[in-house]
Structure 1
Amino acid sequence: MRALVVIENRNMPSRESSDGFHSPASAAAVLLRSGYQVTSAFTCEQALPLLPGAEACVLDVPVSVFSEWREQLTVHRALPILWWYSEHTANLKPSANLGSIAADGILSASMNPAELEWAFYFGARAYQTRRQWAKEREQLLTRLEERKWIERAKGLLSSMRSISEAEAYDMLRKQAMNERRRIGDVAASVVNAYQLLHERP
């Protein structure tokens, strides 16, 4: 990875040198010295235009605000997000209740260029795995929701038409094929129509 966006926290004045540039141990300075193309931002508004050209984002911010930053950024673009560990950013103990901090990796000023490269490599893999899990979870939840609609529609059809649930399922499947729709959508239409017709005024 070469093009990085580094989010820096303005509330850490000790991080800047007298000329206003990055202190030697800041994420931006360390990554620049290690050969990465770095653009820095202090606010979400500054960061958003930089995200399309970035391969990863490094949050050089206190761990207590990591999740807030990550949420703001990933709404606009999904990419690996790593946390920069330092005495300034580790403002809470690991045992603190931080909720779900989904960092794809951790970096620090003590890492040499090879270690940083490996950290970015494994960070990218962790990111891809997390994305795949999220996609599979979403598909599973969709299937479960679809199954609920189908079961309800089967129950209604078998009751109204005095047929077995297997026959009711066949009706739904044939209707879905005729309309070129998903069987879950047809089942939802049946349930919604029934509720509409039998709704009390």
Structure 2
Amino acid sequence: MRSLLVIRVQPTIAASSDAIPLTPERLLGANGYHVQVAGSEAEAVKLARVAEASILHLSLADVEYWVNCLGKGKSDSPLLWWCAPDTASSSAESCEVETSFDGILTPSMTGPEIHWTLHFAARRYMERKQWEQERKQLQSRLEDRKWIDMAKAILSDLKQISEAEAYDLLRKKAMDERKRMVDVATAIVKAHQLLQS
């Protein structure tokens, strides 16, 4: 991972007037990473498409908005938070966020610590994406199961047969019509609901 995007909407304020603030782009650039900075939504969406990871140099209160912006642009890369005095102090009120970060970077990190944080963030991101996909598949199966169970109950009641026989009837009907069983079940339930109303 070498190409990174930093999203920051406000300029970093130095602790004292003569001190140069340590920003993520300065720290990462000094450790050999190619860093681009975005301060607007359009810029962030455009640059996120080519970045291998996005680093949010924002307060936690602003994070959700920017994550949604990145999602609109179909950005699909690890997401890290820059936890520094300026972002941490402005985040005290909103320490609970819905966003799932893949890692956190701090100004005190050394080169190897940054490398390993980005490495583990990439792995965490892949695992998170896999879990999201598995969760969607399970939800879809549960939804299918609900339709099939409702159709079995309707067939059992109407035909005065057991649920096992109703299941076999559903399966045979799906095979005969070359349809998925859930599609046949959905049609039965909807037709029954229409006739009942």
Q: State the match for 1:9 in structure 2.
A: 9
Q: State the match for 1:47 in structure 2.
A: 44
Deviation per CA, 1:43-87, whole angstroms, max 9, x where unpaired?
Answer: 221111112211110111112222222232134222100001111
1:180 to partner: Cα distance: 3.3
Paired residues for 1:102-113 under 5 Å = 102-113=100-111
8 Å contact kept, 1:64–1:98: no
In 1, Cα distance between equivalents of 2:99 and 2:54: 15
Paired residues for 1:97-176 under 5 Å = 97-176=95-174
8 Å contact kept, 1:7–1:58: yes
In 1, Cα distance between equivalents of 2:85 and 2:51: 26
1:183 to partner: Cα distance: 1.5
8 Å contact kept, 2:12–2:23: no
Deviation per CA, 1:19-57, whole angstroms, max 9, x where unpaired?
Answer: xxxx55111111111111111101221111112211110
The sequence identity of aligned pairs, in percent, is: 42
In 2, Cα distance between equivalents of 1:112 and 1:177: 62
Measured on the aligned residues, the alpha-carbon RMSD in Å equals 2.0
Paired residues for 1:61-80 under 5 Å = 61-75=58-72, 76-80=74-78
Superposition TM-score, scaled by structure 1 size: 0.87
- The question of 1:85 aligning with 2:86 is answered no
8 Å contact kept, 2:13–2:86: no
8 Å contact kept, 1:24–1:30: no
Letter in 1 for 2:13: S
8 Å contact kept, 1:4–1:58: yes
Letter in 1 for 2:127: T
Superposition TM-score, scaled by structure 2 size: 0.88
Letter in 1 for 2:142: L
- Segments of structure 1 that go 5 or more residues without pairing to the other structure are none
Residues 132/149 of structure 1: CA separation in 2 closer, same or farther (3 Å cut) = same
1:97 to partner: Cα distance: 4.9
In 2, Cα distance between equivalents of 1:34 and 1:53: 20
Q: State the match for 1:192 in structure 2.
A: 190
Residues 99/61 of structure 1: CA separation in 2 closer, same or farther (3 Å cut) = closer
